[in-house]
Amino acid sequence: MPGFNHNMETELQQNETMVQPEQTRSRFLNSCNGCRARKVRCIKQRESDVVCINCRKRSEDCRFSRTKVRKARSAKGQSRRQTKNPDAADPVTPLSRAPSSPCARSQPDNLMASPSRRSIVGSSDAEAQFVPSGTGTTYAANQMASTTPVDYPVIMANEQDVSISSLAYFSNSKLIALSRRIGTTQVADLLAKVEAAVKSTTRSPGGVSPYPNNLEKEARSVTLSQQCRLDYIQSYFDQVHPLYPFLDRASFENRARSSRVGDIGSVDPAWCALYHAVLGLGSLYHECGSFDAFSGTAWDIFRVSLDFFPRIVFGQINLATVQAMAAMAIFSVTYEALPIEGVLISEAARIVSHFQITKAEACKTNQEFQRTFWVIYSLESEYCLNTGRSSIIPSHDISCPIPQTNLPFLSGFNWLQCKAKHAQMASDIYQRLFSVKARSSSQALRRREASRCLEELEAWRLSVPESFRYAIM
């Protein structure tokens, strides 16, 4: 990947040198040469300072290079160029500047449906649509009125950070270089389409609150027959439990039959939240789900669990509490609750970390506690790696044993141990490759670490039974 990134940036620089603008002016870049080389944010303590904080700490010279910025072209010159080359391509619009209106989001559909391919001309006006490499992110960060996190793109990377999510690879400069290389803007169109679709799914809809206003009303709205409840529980243990094996099926089903779950006021809040989260997950396999956030029958069932969320967080911590948070965290990775995935997973991880459930002494000999911890840890580690943040649960401070947990269709294979190992590797990979400390390391060191990570991942893959092992294409 680093070699590919270098080639893309080199091509962009070559493309820029080939184009001689009619009128140019120069200005200083907002990021010094050292910070641009290290790909870190260039920050001054005061606006009048001539040395940034990073260079002061490193006792290095802080130099700001100049860049040439094309002035606005006259309408007469633009019309002359359009007359000479009527087939010139439209500018490639970076996703970070793509319009977010409904009309704008529908444009990629029309572009993708068109059979014609739009070509990129070497001297097109696309350069004017892009911020020069290494300046856009820093300049925006230094402004008093910056965009809010909800406005940030989901699948676009900025020019300085390693990534902002697991989907973020193309920055503005890489996108225009790639478009010129392949001779079409269809990649940009496709990314704009994916960006709009992902944002509509992962961001909370405007004016929609996932939190219920009235618990009694929510509970009464969930009218399920006894047979439906039994079917949903059966589907949960058949489909979900093998992947997240933290519940004891016999004890859960016995309590579900004996408890008066319809009487919300007399039931333990943690148990009621766990029960409805299990029902919600099981109902997904009975055509009760939805691809829209906060909608569908499964979501209506889960809203009862969500209402107990404050009581769980501020209540007494026991096995039912931790299991309820684990079930709610699992439900958060579905389409119905994807906008609140981070809240539920992070809170589950905070609870097990704050109450020292990571320690062997806390779990003692209770295997349900142990299995629940490792399920929460695996969810949180993978979520943090995918979203570019450090884990709440430090992997070096875990002494909780991993109980033997076999898959019903693959006896002799400890599935939970395999899943826990993968989660520990995900947490370790973030620290070694994507953390702030890792980004300040040299490129050669990061390449060596990346090679070691690939070797460890391959060793983990080979430890899985061949019949259950995924293949590398």
| Ranges 4-18, 86-100, 388-402, 448-462, most confident | 448-462
* Percentage of the residues of the chain whose pLDDT score is greater than 90: 26
Higher per-residue pLDDT: 15 or 261 = 261
Higher per-residue pLDDT: 406 or 131 = 406
Average pLDDT for residues 52-71, to the nearest whole number? 77
Higher per-residue pLDDT: 148 or 424 = 424
418 confidence band (pLDDT: 50, 70, 90) = very high
Residue 403 has pLDDT above 70, yes or no: yes
DSSP secondary structure code for residue 240 in this structure? I
* Percentage of the residues of the chain whose pLDDT score is greater than 70: 64
Q: How many distinct helices (H) and strands (E) make up the chain?
A: 21, 4
Q: What is the pLDDT of residue 217?
A: 54
CA distance 322 to 328: 10
42 confidence band (pLDDT: 50, 70, 90) = confident
Q: What is the overall mean pLDDT for the chain?
A: 74
Helix axis angle for 186-202 and 172-182, nearest 10°, is 140
Higher per-residue pLDDT: 198 or 325 = 325
- Amino acid identity of residue 95, one-letter, is L
Residue 7 has pLDDT above 60, yes or no: no
Q: What is the pLDDT of residue 397?
A: 85
CA distance 381 to 392: 9
Count Cβ atoms below 10 Å from residue 8 Cβ, excluding itself: 18
What tokens does 268 get? 């333990």
* Terminal Cα distance for the chain, rounded: 17
Residue partners of 28: CB distance under 8 A and separation at least 6: 64, 65, 66, 67
What tokens does 425 get? 């590797």
Residue 436 has pLDDT above 80, yes or no: yes
Beta bridge partners of residue 28, listed in sequence order: 66
Q: Considering only CA atoms, which of 4, 30, 13 is closest in space to residue 176?
A: 13
Q: pLDDT tens digits, residue range 120-130?
A: 434 344 343 43
What tokens does 453 get? 């990570």
Higher per-residue pLDDT: 206 or 369 = 369
Residue 134 has pLDDT above 80, yes or no: no
Average pLDDT for residues 306-332, to the nearest whole number? 91
Q: What is the pLDDT of residue 65?
A: 81
CA distance 176 to 329: 39
Q: Considering only CA atoms, which of 57, 64, 44 is closest in space to residue 142?
A: 44
Q: How long, in residues, is the chain?
A: 473
Q: What is the pLDDT of residue 458?
A: 92
Residue 8 has pLDDT above 50, yes or no: no
CA distance 412 to 406: 6
Residue 17 has pLDDT above 50, yes or no: no
Q: What is the pLDDT of residue 95?
A: 42
